[in-house]
């Protein structure tokens, strides 16, 4: 059986939401977004590891357990760790996890997590703290693909038409959207590959984990199907969409 470490990155400032509270702590159906993300991952990865197959399920049960082969690590802004601990008490959140202070960029946040992790899991997932609706089927595809091929990146087709800007940004040309995919998380990796990748020096083009692992040159990045419900909550509109998704009759 696999051992899985899930790193949840939530150390960004969340400025696009335009609220005083960082977006990862805004309530979604009564619970901070990132707490809901942690529960969803504990439940979904736990289900995969216990081998119980279930249909795509977006509910977050009020469970306070993690599978024994699954460790969770949460990366937070350094000045938000105390606030998180208070929120855990308030919401009776007891899923075992380690917290780690984030760095100046996403790359440095993941690097801090990998250096602090007590786990030597064979598969590591890295997930955005603001994607609380990730479904079981996406999690299962990412874990099985990462274990088999070393990398797994969930993607969805691009829905909008795309235009590429000229270097000055004053002109644009149409591009073929069928040649592109939008990238989601969790991205999954063979543990040893991800740990080696994050020992490389930082480069500005590292906007996600796949770009860091790609630089190692151990093989192509393998794409898996993501899901439209795996929304990244970035704007107040996304929060409304996520709330109504959760309140949909099942
Ligand atoms: O900025 P962006 O939306 O791409 O961030 C993706 C994820 O990385 C978010 O969950 C954010 O909280 C996290 N992040 C981080 N540390 C940073 C910057 C972003 O953990 N320094």
pLDDT at 65: 86
Closest CA to 76 of 84, 87, 68: 84
pLDDT at 59: 46
Among 128, 134, 198, say which to mutate for ligand 1: greatest number of ligand atoms within 8 Å of CB: 128
Scanning the structure block, which residue is given the tokens 């079981």? Answer: 136
| Residue 132 CB less than 6 A away from ligand 1 | no
Rounded distance, CA 227 to CA 5, Å? 22
Closest CA to 245 of 159, 134, 139, 156: 134
pLDDT at 119: 74
Q: How is residue 160 annotated by DSSP? A: S
Nearest-Å Rg of the Cα atoms of the chain is: 18
8 Å CB contact between 2 and 67: no
pLDDT at 64: 82
- How many DSSP H helices and E strands does the chain contain? 7, 12
| Residue 8 CB less than 6 A away from ligand 1 | no
Among 11, 77, 232, 234, say which to mutate for ligand 1: greatest number of ligand atoms within 8 Å of CB: 11
pLDDT at 220: 92
Closest CA to 111 of 97, 123, 124: 124
Residue 11 main-chain phi, psi, to 5 deg: -105, 10
| Residue 188 CB less than 6 A away from ligand 1 | no
pLDDT at 118: 81
Rounded distance, CA 138 to CA 157, Å? 15
pLDDT at 152: 98
Ligand 1 centre to CA of 108 (Å) is 10
8 Å CB contact between 73 and 43: no
Pairing of strands 70-76, 98-101: parallel
pLDDT at 53: 42
First CA to last CA distance, the chain: 31
Give the three-class secondary structure for 141.
helix
Walk along the chain (250 residues) and give the pLDDT tens digit of each residue: 889 999 999 998 766 666 777 889 999 999 999 999 999 999 999 999 998 544 444 444 557 889 999 999 999 999 999 999 999 999 999 999 999 999 999 999 999 999 999 878 999 999 999 999 999 999 999 999 999 999 999 999 999 999 999 999 999 999 999 999 999 999 999 999 999 999 999 999 998 999 999 999 988 999 999 999 999 999 999 999 999 999 998 7
């Amino acid at each position: 059986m696999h051992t899985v470490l899930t790193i949840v990155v939530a150390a960004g400032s969340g400025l696009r939401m335009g609220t005083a509270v960082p977006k990862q702590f805004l309530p979604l159906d009564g619970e901070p977004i990132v707490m809901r993300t942690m529960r969803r991952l504990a439940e979904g990865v736990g289900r995969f590891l216990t081998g119980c197959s279930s249909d795509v399920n977006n509910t977050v049960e009020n469970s306070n357990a993690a599978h024994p082969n699954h460790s969770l690590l949460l990366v937070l802004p350094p000045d938000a760790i105390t606030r998180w601990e208070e929120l855990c008490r308030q919401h009776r959140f007891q899923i075992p996890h380690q917290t780690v202070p984030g760095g100046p960029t996403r790359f440095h946040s993941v690097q801090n997590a990998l250096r602090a992790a007590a786990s030597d899991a064979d598969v590591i997932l890295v997930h955005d703290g603001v994607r609380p609706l990730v479904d079981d089927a996406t999690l299962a595809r990412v874990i099985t693909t990462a274990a088999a091929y070393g990398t797994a990146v969930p993607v969805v087709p691009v829905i909008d038409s795309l235009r590429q800007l000229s270097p000055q940004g004053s002109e644009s040309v149409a591009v073929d959207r069928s040649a592109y995919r939008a990238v989601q998380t969790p991205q999954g990796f063979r543990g040893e590959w991800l740990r080696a990748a994050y020992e490389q020096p930082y480069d500005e083009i590292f906007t996600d984990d796949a770009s860091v692992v790609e630089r190692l040159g151990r093989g192509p990045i393998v794409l898996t199907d993501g899901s439209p419900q795996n929304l990244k909550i970035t704007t107040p509109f996304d929060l409304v969409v996520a709330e109504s998704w959760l309140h949909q009759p099942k």
